[in-house]
Amino acid sequence: MPQGLNVWEQVICEFPGHYARDGEQCGRKFPGPDEHVNRFDGPAWNVPKIYFADHDPIEGGSVEGRLVRMNWAIAEGDKAEAYGLFLGLARDPANRQRLKDAILFAGITDLQDTIINRGGYQNIGHKALRARALIDIADYLGWDNAHELFYTVVPDLACSPRLYGLWTEISNICRMEFPEHASIPKRSDKPLTERELDILTEAIVWGGPFDVNAAIMGFFKRGAGILDVGDAVIACFQRYLIDVLEHPNAFLHPTHALDYMNVVQSWTRHHDNPHQVKAVFMGARFMNDTIRSNANFPRDPTFTLEPRQNHRVWADGIAIGRLLPVLKEHVLAQDAPRSCALVDSYLERTNERHDLLDTITYAACHWQNDPHVMRNCASSLEEFRHNRTSRRDDIVRGFVKHQARYVKRAPTHDCYQVYVDYFKPANA
């Protein structure tokens, strides 16, 4: 079990990680604070217990029938049946492409309709992220070497809470408005116009759930493709990161929605599934809901950020060839206004993007104890690479704002230092 992934024992203070440390404040609970060691940042405090034993593969019956049974078992919370069927299907390489599609479908459709005043009873995209991680890592390791990974991910998909309210709503909307939604193309020759991007931005950042539904419905009705709209959702969401977010803690939920949308886009890019158009609605609704959830709290003026424009003249005065090392230092200093001004300046002065993204990512990877930092890197890099909207550079602007402002779980860079000691990178 990878460190930090044992969330369930973290919430009862029996395993370290950020749920235990930050959410549950376990350091203040039994057996009492330890002045010298933060037990919930360190190695495992208790040996993990086994609550769900490993299972044998379930075989027999048609592949189609087993895939359907597996998805029903996940939806009904039957971990043993879902896991056994997965193991049986995974044995035959010929089944794996359909199995990947099915496991992504299961992760993406299980998403809360709102996090507003819901506390911990939410999925917040984690099931989709884990399904995607299973596929990427199993492909890397080889599926015959990935049994422990399957054990970590597949039963979890069938754990509570399992929430299908949003999926039900979007499925009904699509049935009523687009009887032929399964035939909507992935790409069209009608990507979103500037005006349509403005409408979508307004709906996601400032509107309500039905504004989001109406905007997206309009784009599909006039012939836009699934990835055309998905790209626009990713790009328009960045305005929230760029213009609105200030409090370091407030980045957490909205960027979960960005990471979820990245899984949706990846699913659409690599698989064919008649339900993919619904997932675009779900991603946009998730983004809008997290933004509304943040807005449901009065804004704390002590976390006000200085406008990035205040530093633009300074940024423009730095030679383009010297700018990236300066950017790295300001990201590491968590100076969002200057970091954002540097990126604005760079984007306007050159078409170079690879080294810029590399610099932000390398700076971000100095931080430890929080996989959300690296997940945001992965989502931003991948979506920038594929995005075809005119506002693709906004992904870089949102990326640097996140990495220069989002709350950091640990102030030290011990893991990075180990990397420097062993690999001695030139830019350390």
Partner 1 sequence: MSNEQATLIESWRVRNAAATTLALTEEQMRRAVRDASIEELVTLIETFAPARSAGPEWTRTFEPLVERLWTWRDDETIATLAEVFRSRGMPWMAVTNALAPERGVLTRTTLRQPASARLPAFTLV
**Percentage helix, strand, coil, to 5, in the chain?**
65, 0, 35
Residue pair 295/246 in contact by the 8 Å Cβ criterion: no
In whole angstroms, the minimum distance from the beta carbon of 112 to partner 1 comes to 16
The smaller minimum CB distance to partner 1, of residues 93 and 301, is found at 301
Assess 295 for contact with partner 1 (CB under 8 A): yes
In whole angstroms, the minimum distance from the beta carbon of 303 to partner 1 comes to 9
In whole angstroms, the minimum distance from the beta carbon of 411 to partner 1 comes to 22
Q: Which of 30, 51, 297, 423 binds partner 1 (CB under 8 A)?
A: 297
Q: Which residues neighbour 147 within 8 Å (Cβ) at sequence distance 6 or greater?
A: 87
In whole angstroms, the minimum distance from the beta carbon of 72 to partner 1 comes to 36
Residue 42 DSSP symbol: S
The smaller minimum CB distance to partner 1, of residues 191 and 254, is found at 254
In whole angstroms, the minimum distance from the beta carbon of 295 to partner 1 comes to 4
Considering only residues 114 through 143, tell me which ones interact with partner 1, judged by CB under 8 A.
Answer: 116-117
Assess 298 for contact with partner 1 (CB under 8 A): yes
From CA 312, how far away is CA 309, in angstroms rounded? 5
Q: How many helices (H) does the chain have, and how many strands (E)?
A: 20, 0
Assess 302 for contact with partner 1 (CB under 8 A): yes
Assess 249 for contact with partner 1 (CB under 8 A): no
Which of 49, 46, 18, 48 has its CA nearest to residue 31? 46
Stretch 203-232: interaction string toward partner 1, x if CB under 8 A = -----x------------------------
From CA 353, how far away is CA 340, in angstroms rounded? 15
In whole angstroms, the minimum distance from the beta carbon of 298 to partner 1 comes to 4
Kindly report whether the peptide bond that precedes residue 155 is cis, defined as omega within 30 degrees of 0.
no
Considering only residues 252 through 281, tell me which ones interact with partner 1, judged by CB under 8 A.
Answer: none
Angle of helix 209-221 versus helix 194-206 axis, rounded to 10: 160
Which of 85, 116, 107, 210 has its CA nearest to residue 157? 107
Residue 1 DSSP symbol: -
In whole angstroms, the minimum distance from the beta carbon of 212 to partner 1 comes to 13
Mark the segment that binds partner 1 (CB under 8 A) among 102-110, 291-299, 317-325, 369-377. Answer: 291-299
From CA 39, how far away is CA 16, in angstroms rounded? 7
Size of the site for partner 1 (CB under 8 A): 14
From CA 426, how far away is CA 231, in angstroms rounded? 35
Q: What residue ranges bind partner 1 (CB under 8 A)? A: 116-117, 208, 291-293, 295-302
